[in-house]
Amino acid sequence: MKIVGILLVVLGVLGLAAGGLSWTRTNTVIDAGPIELKATERESLPIPPIAGGLLLVAGVVVLTKGK
């Protein structure tokens, strides 16, 4: 339960501070022998501020009540 609480707190803080999570994914578009073309895509998971606050509070509750 402690890991779940920490994960909820981290997601809540990220949701409040940054507005969500974002990452970059590299995909191989063409792979023809020695020639290789790659495309980089930026993806994100937006977290609304209310959801971030709820995640943060839920994480704190789990950390304080969970054993």
What local confidence, expressed as pLDDT, does residue 67 receive?
Answer: 61
How many domains does the structure of the chain reveal?
1
3-state SS string over 2-66?
Answer: HHHHHHHHHHHHHHHHCCEEEEEEEEEEEEECCEEEEEEEEEEEECCHHHHHHHHHHHHHHHHHC
pTM exceeds cut of 0.75 = no
**What pLDDT is stored for residue 37 in this prediction?**
94
What is the per-residue pLDDT for 39?
Answer: 95
Amino acid (1-letter code) at residue 35 = I
Please give the chain's pLDDT, 67 residues, in tens.
Answer: 899 999 999 988 888 888 877 899 999 999 988 899 999 999 988 888 899 899 999 999 999 986 6
Query: Which residues span the domain enclosing 45?
Result: 2-65
